[in-house]
Amino acid sequence: MLGDMLGFFRDLRNGRHKHIQGGLDLLKYIGPGLIVTVGFIDPGNWASNLAAGSEFGYSLLWMVTLSTLMLIVLQHNSARLGIASGLCLSEAARRHLKPALAGPLLWSAMAASAATSMAEILGGAVALQMLFGLPVRAGALLIAALVCYLLFSSNYRRLEKWIIGFVSLIGLSFVYELSLAPVDWGRAASGWVTPSFPPGSMVVVMSVLGAVVMPHNLFLHSEVVQSRQWNLENDGIIRRQLRYEFTDTLLSMLVGWAINSAMIIMAAAAFFSRGETVSELQQAQRMLAPLLGGHSGTVFAVALLLAGVSSSVTSGMAGASIFAGLYGEPLNLKDNHSRMGVYLSFAAALAVIFFITDPFKGLVYSQMALSVQLPFTIFLQVYLTSSGKVMGGYANPPRLTALLAAIGLVVAWLNVRLLLSFFRA
């Protein structure tokens, strides 16, 4: 990873002597990272971050920092797999693992994709209720239908532009919200770098982790990075792809870190400082208007709708990629297996939405469920990207393998702490 970063800066330096050609080339590679970023600024993140900020103030910001650092390493490693092998994570698992192991792992990833889709669609439905008074279940059906239309009628490059636009608008909306909030930046700075586990915070800590480091995004990144076609036989081209991809990933993940941090900071400044705990997204919208100004509630709802639609697109793509991989196929939304992956993910999501009684808790617990599946995806990725059989000369060096394994162990340890917290409750 360090080599990829240094190589990128070498290209930029050389580019200055070639009429900034390196900088212009970089623009061609920006996109896949932002597609992934929208997955961790989804409605599930909103619920987790609002719960974190309103209940615990600035004290859980460190989890966003830690999760983002882990995410940069994991997402870059996932993209390495796609670039070096030409396979997405699901295809590689199907090809290089025994069926008795690959099947359960990939079906657990499909379950995680469905949990993600539930959060995305539910968040979009809640936004429609805020804006137009539409019942949540009717809104969920409308969001699912709209997303299916976007997925099956647009090519990937057009979808990428739409999603980048959505990410930009979501970021701007939170800049606006923060400009109105009375933020204690000293406490925020301390919260970013000081780990703490306030009493009763483990569910929220794990939901923040699951909302940032998401299993379906690891599958998706290895797939969408291949939208930039290249010659797999040319080492120079592959190394160049890896360098620029790292920069795309780094910049995109930092955007996600900033937006997730902004959510917690806004909740801490607007709610925690006044002793208010957010227990539903509608409550947050209603409370923001008198606290931060008349337009803040509307901005909040519009941004939530954008987040719900755009992240539903990426969760649908992830479900399609995982399910197609079960058959050894790449993502192709014109193919029946890829389409079936979208339908299964959305159908399971809608089934849960129709029976759920507390949407806010459903959003928080869906993100916690992702953290439970996450270690399995991480160790699958470590095995594949450390294998010379899969990666050839681009297999992970021992230090990177150790780092990835350590991340997997940290996530597993946090899950054990979560389990123990339930027994102690």
Q: Summarize pLDDT for 87-125 with one digit per residue, the tens.
A: 999 999 999 999 999 999 999 999 999 998 998 999 899
Measure the CA–CA gap between 13 and 25, rounded to whole angstroms.
13
Residue 326 tokens, joined: 């079960």
Is residue 17 predicted with pLDDT exceeding 60? no
Query: Average of pLDDT values for 301-328?
Result: 90
Query: Average of pLDDT values for 337-362?
Result: 92
Q: Write down the mean pLDDT value for the chain.
A: 84
Measure the CA–CA gap between 337 and 114, rounded to whole angstroms.
16
Lowest mean pLDDT among 45-54, 73-82, 234-243, 375-384: 234-243
**Domains in the chain, please, with CATH?**
2-25+34-424 (1.20.1740.10)
Is residue 411 predicted with pLDDT exceeding 60? yes
Residue 6 tokens, joined: 């240094």
Is residue 270 predicted with pLDDT exceeding 60? yes
Lowest mean pLDDT among 101-105, 316-320, 361-365, 379-383: 361-365
Q: Per-residue confidence at 368, pLDDT binned at 50, 70, 90?
A: confident
Measure the CA–CA gap between 409 and 415, rounded to whole angstroms.
10
Q: State the number of CA atoms in the 13 A half-sphere of 147 facing the CB.
A: 33
Prediction pTM value: 0.83
**Residue 228 neighbours by CB under 8 Å, 6+ apart:** 28, 29, 32, 241
Contact 404, 242 (CB under 8 A): no
Highest mean pLDDT among 5-9, 265-269, 344-348: 344-348
Q: Per-residue confidence at 16, pLDDT binned at 50, 70, 90?
A: very low
Measure the CA–CA gap between 41 and 38, rounded to whole angstroms.
5
* CB-neighbour burial class of residue 279 (10 A; exposed 0-12, middle 13-18, buried 19+): middle
